Structure 1
Amino acid sequence: MAAPTRLFHVWVGAETGALKGVNLQRKEASNHAGGSGLSRARGVSALAWGDPAQTELLVACLDRSLSVFSTEKGKFTGSRRCPGGDGAFCGLGVLGSSVVTAVESGLIRLWGEDEAEEPLQELQAGPGLCRMRQDPARPHVLGTAGKENGLKVWDLQRPGEPLFRAKNVRNDWLDLRVPVWDRDLQFLPGSQRILTCTGHGQVRLYDPSSPQRRPVLDVTFGEAPLTALALPPGDTSVVVGSARGDVAVLDLRKGRVLRALKGFAGGVRGLQCHPRLPLVASVSLDRFLRLHGLSDGRLQHKVYLKSRLSCLLLNTHLDWEAQEEPPPQKEKDEEEDELWDALESVPTPRKSKKRKISGF
């Protein structure tokens, strides 16, 4: 019997449009699809919790639909369209009873509860947007970054101009301009500092509270484009993943690699750390969901999910350390015996003797 949807540790979005819930103890996964079924045109672009109790899951798809999935009922309970701008969703958040969406063309909109209602507010963050995230401590504050679209910090209460606009790093040793390509960003808890990772392999730390608009820390990791980053508990390290499947924990104080996380065979599409436990979950193009321990880098769980995966979201209200006992083997054997007893027996045909023909 599959685990109830409220007992899934991780929710994963797939390029097929499926929403997958995963119970790590049982290594079980269930697929859920919206009203129009599975389709690559409805590939999941972003996931976010719709309420603090984590009973409603917001699912943003490529066709610009936004669906609500109830983890208690185990089904989709609503859907709406979020038109405007071009490209897929690259950010999703919640502000009170409203939903914040961002698309690749840079249009950020605030949607109310009424499905027929026009957006309550909108701002233009610039084209080539790769990521929009909220500050967890100040949900009305947003960070945006993209390709040739440097880091900006916005306040939805005063959306006219950004609160902070990052300045590009200095020219390289050939005095050539360094291209801008920020792929992901995170707000450091307890401060105004922001981390970004770039498509050119850099991890950069910005501090809007200081007069310096250039990064206060600039570290290069690997040679492949960095695609995702996540913050472990505390503010002294960061987990980064690349398009080649390289994942590592970096020390923000000394700018060096603390440990590498092994076992990846495809580009990393999503990373998220547990807010209280030393754990990091990841999805990659090799179609696996993995859970690594941050203290030793050991792979704790690995679940094959069949589809190309695009994003993930952790259920942090669940007791991750509780061990669930597997079903007794005896019950399984009894079920198999009942199945075999219900089958009709088929007699085995006897081999007929060959008759001998005279003269041969």
Structure 2
Amino acid sequence: MKWTTANLKHANYTAKHELFVGTHTGSFKHLLPAANQNPHAQSNLSDLSALDKESCVTTLAFGNEAQTEILLGRAKNVAELHSLGIGGGVTTRSINFTVAPIVGLARYNNNLIAGIGNGQIQSISLEAEEDSEEEPAAASVIINTGDQMDHLRQCPTATHIVATGGKARQNNLKVYDLSADGKQIFNSKNLPNDYLQLEVPVWDSDIGFVDGPNVLATCSRHGYVRLYDTRKQRRPVTHFASEEHGMSFAALVAHGNYIYTGTTMGALKAFDTRRMKTHVHTYKGFTGGISDLHLDETGKYLSSASLDRYVRVHEAESTVLLYQCYVKSKATKVLIRQLSEQQQQPRQSSDDEDEVDHEVKSHKNNKNKRQLKATPLDAEYEDMFDQMPTVGDSDEEEAPEKQTSTATKRKAPKQALKTKKKKQ
């Protein structure tokens, strides 16, 4: 499929999916590519009136294995827990932490685990109901990973394992066991110094679990992708280092033997963990930096959020662009999940379409008002035009008069000649 900036849906995209998108402005949107009539309709799941400059969505993750809960974190110290009902309803619960921004969220033993940008991992209990009179429990710091954290990721198969990463050597990849009171079970080690005996720069911008809790992959803003095996050694077992100038990886997701990475320059590449010398796939269609990646349960469909305000779905194996939707704001996070049979229609009416209809109606009203102002009505002038005969009627009435007048003019000279002859 050719490169395009319009909303599109491939004819072969028949999978029943729905997308959840977090944006830079703080809006949380729901898309339904499986809809037949309008697959690009958008509905807002958050209160737009409560958003401010610090409401940017910084993390988005599923809270359970059934994918019926969504954990949303913002640039401020507020996290949201969205529960997706069977009939399409959504209930939202807000939880406040002590520090901001929130760079990662996880749920373990009815506790909400949050990774903070200053390197702290905080925990807060979710036992208190939202409608109860009990005050929510205060967040407690359980782990200090360093002085900066860029991402926190929970292992999908072993929920008690979380991994963190950040900028600089003291904030490199670390793995913790929440079941053992946050005990650190792995700490990565940097590569040996380069040929100038200089330390290789470290910046783990994103993390992904490849094969259970033991094999992890990281990408960096310094242009490398590394694969770790916590059972073998602290240094990466294999890695890819880009020789291109300005190559900066910002997002990563892994499934099976493949690692999918997105760069700040709008390049989406896939690597094979068995051969990390170069990438094996390249996905096209981007005009802005890729901010987040997410795979569906099968690993066949790769969703991506980009700063060019588009959300896309590619087929992971064939690299075909299947779906593209303009979301009006810079997309920062995205989730994709299989649509249940009971949810065939969007759970809310499209707020964006209502806004467009309102704008169109207001534009038409303003246009009519301008036309009325430009041509003011004059009662006397209109009355004069009403009394005037039509052009067709006037022509028909005057036609016989013209014929008689011309006939008399022709007869006049003949009669004059006859009178002269008689006189003579």
Q: One fold, TM greater than 0.5?
A: yes
Q: Is the 8 A contact 1:15 1:308 kept in 2?
A: yes
| 1:57 to 2:78 alignment | no
1:237 Cα shift?
1.2
Residue 185 of structure 1 aligns to which amino acid in structure 2?
A: I
Kindly provide the CA deviation profile for residues 41-80 of structure 1, in whole angstroms up to 9, marking residues without a partner as x: 2221112223333333222222211222233254443212
Q: Is the 8 A contact 1:54 1:317 kept in 2?
A: no
Q: Distance in 2 between matches of 1:196 and 1:318?
A: 33
Kindly provide the CA deviation profile for residues 159-196 of structure 1, in whole angstroms up to 9, marking residues without a partner as x: 46521111111111211111110100111134611100
Structure in which a larger fraction of residues adopt helix: 2
Secondary structure at 2:173 match in 1:
strand
Q: Distance in 2 between matches of 1:83 and 1:155?
A: 23
Q: Is the 8 A contact 1:14 1:310 kept in 2?
A: yes
Q: Distance in 2 between matches of 1:277 and 1:190?
A: 15
Identity %: 31
Q: Which runs of 4+ in 1 moved over 6 A?
A: none
Q: Is the 8 A contact 2:17 2:338 kept in 1?
A: no
Please name the residue that 1:24 is paired with: 33
CA RMSD of the aligned region, Å? 2.9
Residue 17 of structure 1 aligns to which amino acid in structure 2?
A: G
Matches within 5 A, 1:1-360: 9-25=18-34, 26-34=39-47, 37-72=50-85, 74-84=89-99, 87-113=100-126, 114=128, 116-119=136-139, 122-148=142-168, 149-159=171-181, 161-190=183-212, 192-210=214-232, 212-221=233-242, 222=244, 223-232=246-255, 234=256, 236-255=257-276, 256-316=278-338, 318=340
Secondary structure at 2:207 match in 1:
strand
Q: Is the 8 A contact 1:137 1:189 kept in 2?
A: no
Residue 144 of structure 2 aligns to which amino acid in structure 1?
A: Q
Could you list the runs of 5+ residues in structure 1 that have no partner in the other structure? 1-6, 325-348, 354-360
Secondary structure at 1:157 match in 2:
helix
Q: Distance in 2 between matches of 1:301 and 1:160?
A: 41
Q: Distance in 1 between matches of 2:183 and 2:67?
A: 33
Q: Is the 8 A contact 2:20 2:30 kept in 1?
A: yes
Q: If you compute each CA radius of gyration, which structure gives the higher value, 1 or 2?
A: 2
Q: Which has the higher contact order (CA 8 A, sep 6+)?
A: 2
Q: Distance in 1 between matches of 2:331 and 2:151?
A: 17
1:214 Cα shift?
0.9
Residue range with higher mean Cα deviation, 54-63 or 136-145: 54-63
Q: Is the 8 A contact 2:73 2:103 kept in 1?
A: no
Q: Is the 8 A contact 1:198 1:227 kept in 2?
A: yes
Aligned length, in residue pairs? 321
Kindly provide the CA deviation profile for residues 222-279 of structure 1, in whole angstroms up to 9, marking residues without a partner as x: 54210001123x2x11110000001011111111211100010111110011221411
Residue range with higher mean Cα deviation, 162-171 or 24-33: 24-33
Please name the residue that 2:6 is paired with: none
Secondary structure at 2:54 match in 1:
helix
Could you list the runs of 5+ residues in structure 2 that have no partner in the other structure? 1-15, 129-134, 347-376, 389-424
- Relative distance call for 1:218 and 1:52 in structure 2 (3 A) is closer
- Relative distance call for 1:279 and 1:122 in structure 2 (3 A) is same
Q: Distance in 2 between matches of 1:192 and 1:116?
A: 35
Q: Distance in 1 between matches of 2:313 and 2:53?
A: 26
Residue range with higher mean Cα deviation, 258-267 or 87-96: 87-96
Residue 21 of structure 1 aligns to which amino acid in structure 2?
A: H
Q: Is the 8 A contact 1:34 1:67 kept in 2?
A: no
Q: Distance in 1 between matches of 2:138 and 2:345?
A: 47
Please name the residue that 1:346 is paired with: none
Q: Is the 8 A contact 1:9 1:318 kept in 2?
A: no
1:152 Cα shift?
0.7
Secondary structure at 2:184 match in 1:
coil
Residue 268 of structure 1 aligns to which amino acid in structure 2?
A: I
Give the TM-score normalised by structure 1: 0.81
1:294 Cα shift?
1.3
Q: Is the 8 A contact 2:258 2:272 kept in 1?
A: yes
Structure in which a larger fraction of residues adopt strand: 1
Kindly provide the CA deviation profile for residues 275-320 of structure 1, in whole angstroms up to 9, marking residues without a partner as x: 214110000100000001112111000000001111111224547x
Q: Distance in 1 between matches of 2:296 and 2:254?
A: 9
Q: Distance in 1 between matches of 2:240 and 2:340?
A: 35
